[in-house]
Amino acid sequence: MFGALAEGETRVEGFLEGEDTLATLAAFQAMGVEIERPAAHELVIQGVGLHGLRAPGEALYLGNSGTSMRLLAGLLSGQGFDTVLTGDGSLSRRPMGRVIEPLAKMGTLIHCNDAGTPPLNIQGGRALTGFRHHLSVASAQVKSCLLLAGLYAKGETSVHEPAVTRDHTERMLQAFGYAVEVADGRISLQGGGRLQGGALQVPADISSAAFFLVGAAISPGSELLIENVGVNPTRLGVLHILRMMGAEIELRNPREFGREPVADLYVKASVLHGIRIPLEQVSLAIDEFPIIFIAAACAEGETVLEGAEELRVKESDRIAVMAEGLTQLGIAARPTADGMVIQGGAFSGGRVHSHGDHRIAMAFAMAALVAKGPITIDDCDNVATSFPGFVALASMAGLRLEAEQSTHP
């Protein structure tokens, strides 16, 4: 996104060739941005500047990517042309009111369906005005959406967070030479600046690494080294929580890729115990809770999560779906309005449904490492949205895992 809006060329190493990112790439190509892929995991983006995008000839299809849709809603609010954003069945059920309402206060006009879900029809050519927005629920997607709209707004756009969320957008803006002020839970910028292209190296994703961290931690005799993982402080909730549970995880060889901290993660099999997850860690681990629930199921005693109502509106209702699957596999799991209570136990074999949610499918795959019998996971096609090659990599790491064409709906 920033490479497309920058002036000059941006070269990216470490590009994740997942369905979400490829859908985003295709959207910018449809708006006239020249993007080349000279080698695997590499991009060369010829930036068109903040005002150089062109009207696409049709609706922009974003697949399963809620991040793409919410961020593009902000970015496209400042364009001189109308756009329509669509997605697959899962994305089409996700609520968009949290970005539509604050964008409207900036002057954006967006239409969605009566349920507040996609498709989004965004009217271009409107003058935006910066404003101060206080997030009622900590959300990096909403924050980033408003900051992107703020690039096109008159005056200052300021977002106040109730809790720290991932700050990749702020770091990326600074890497592209755009001034951002961060202080006391407030992130602000002035509209009308410029982005300058350059070279970027993308760290490995800690959300993807988390599946293997838990897999090694719960499997007797295991040890694993995962290299070049991004260890941004706003993403370390999963490490803090697993360490509180007793997982032995080391950060080795710390360094930086651009403005992002990176390290190699070493983990070995550990005896885990249940905990009450601290509220301040929830927003820092919001995407990792499906696999954290697997760790809790393998821990001695009870694990309690509260303050995570955000999980209800992810690719699936991750509280309900994970509780259902854990229960089907013999684990005592009680969902609550904003979290879950899990009593550690032993996984039986069985069949669970991922409800099209990539992280739930991969979480239950790791549970199979210690289950008493085989686990069959239905509806796993969306694993490719965030982790293409998961089956092959997991098999290399020692999982006995097969992907097959399901006969179940």
Note the pLDDT tens digit of each residue in 31-43. Answer: 999 999 999 999 9
- Number of CB atoms found within 10 A of residue 114's CB: 5
Please indicate, yes or no, if residue 317 is contained in any of the structural domains: yes
Q: Is the pLDDT of residue 408 over 50?
A: no
The answer on 295 and 173 residing in a single domain is no
The answer on 212 and 303 residing in a single domain is yes
Q: How confident is the model at residue 401 (pLDDT cuts 50, 70, 90)?
A: confident
pLDDT in tens, 189-236: 999 999 999 999 999 999 999 999 999 999 999 999 999 999 999 999
Range of the domain at 392: 206-396
Q: What span, in angstroms and rounded, lies between the C-alpha atoms of 200 and 208? A: 20
SS3 string of 231-286?
Answer: CCHHHCHHHHHHHHCCCEEEEEEEEEECCEEEEEEEEECCCCECCECCHHHHHHHH
Q: How confident is the model at residue 84 (pLDDT cuts 50, 70, 90)?
A: very high
Q: How confident is the model at residue 347 (pLDDT cuts 50, 70, 90)?
A: very high
The answer on 165 and 252 residing in a single domain is no
Please indicate, yes or no, if residue 409 is contained in any of the structural domains: no
How large a percentage of the chain has pLDDT more than 90?
A: 90
Q: How confident is the model at residue 90 (pLDDT cuts 50, 70, 90)?
A: confident
Please indicate, yes or no, if residue 264 is contained in any of the structural domains: yes
Which helix or strand (DSSP H or E) is residue 293 part of?
A: helix 289-297
Q: Is the pLDDT of residue 290 over 70?
A: yes
Average pLDDT of the chain is: 95
Domain termination residue (choose one: 201, 236, 262): 201
Domain termination residue (choose one: 170, 201, 232): 201
Question: Which of 86-90, 132-136, 232-236, 383-387 has the weakest average pLDDT?
Answer: 383-387
The answer on 217 and 295 residing in a single domain is yes
Sign of the C-alpha dihedral computed for residues 394, 400, 404 and 409 taken in this order: negative
Q: What span, in angstroms and rounded, lies between the C-alpha atoms of 147 and 66? A: 17
What total number of domains does the chain contain?
Answer: 2
Residue 250's pLDDT is what? 98
Q: How confident is the model at residue 122 (pLDDT cuts 50, 70, 90)?
A: very high
How large a percentage of the chain has pLDDT more than 70?
A: 99
Please indicate, yes or no, if residue 295 is contained in any of the structural domains: yes
The answer on 180 and 220 residing in a single domain is no
Residue 405's pLDDT is what? 64
Q: Is the pLDDT of residue 407 over 50?
A: no
Q: Is the pLDDT of residue 409 over 60?
A: no
Q: How confident is the model at residue 251 (pLDDT cuts 50, 70, 90)?
A: very high
* CA-only gyration radius of the chain, Å: 21
The answer on 360 and 228 residing in a single domain is yes
For the question of residue 287 being annotated catalytic, the response is yes
Q: Is the pLDDT of residue 406 over 70?
A: no
Please indicate, yes or no, if residue 405 is contained in any of the structural domains: no
- Identify the CA nearest to 339 among candidates 394, 302, 372, 374: 302
Active-site residue identified among 20, 88, 287, 357: 287
Please indicate, yes or no, if residue 406 is contained in any of the structural domains: no
Count Cα neighbours of 123 within 13 Å in the Cβ-side half-sphere: 10
- Identify the CA nearest to 129 among candidates 99, 101, 170, 157: 157
Which helix or strand (DSSP H or E) is residue 20 part of?
A: helix 19-30
pLDDT (mean) for 64-68: 93
Residue 386's pLDDT is what? 85
pLDDT (mean) for 385-391: 89
Q: What span, in angstroms and rounded, lies between the C-alpha atoms of 210 and 239? A: 8
Sign of the C-alpha dihedral computed for residues 52, 187, 124 and 30 taken in this order: positive
Q: What span, in angstroms and rounded, lies between the C-alpha atoms of 204 and 15? A: 9
- State how far the alpha carbon of 161 is from the alpha carbons of 139, 144, 155, in Å: 8, 12, 20
The answer on 244 and 156 residing in a single domain is no
Residue 402's pLDDT is what? 83
Please indicate, yes or no, if residue 404 is contained in any of the structural domains: no
The answer on 190 and 65 residing in a single domain is yes
Q: What span, in angstroms and rounded, lies between the C-alpha atoms of 281 and 261? A: 19
The answer on 185 and 211 residing in a single domain is no
Residues forming a β-bridge with 48: 7
Residues forming a β-bridge with 375: 350
Q: Indicate which CATH number applies to the domain containing 302.
A: 3.65.10.10
Residue 382's pLDDT is what? 85
pLDDT in tens, 104-116: 999 999 999 999 9
The answer on 290 and 166 residing in a single domain is no
Please indicate, yes or no, if residue 88 is contained in any of the structural domains: yes
The answer on 136 and 184 residing in a single domain is yes
Domain termination residue (choose one: 153, 186, 201): 201
Question: Which of 52-61, 75-84, 160-169, 267-276 has the weakest average pLDDT?
Answer: 160-169
The answer on 109 and 214 residing in a single domain is no
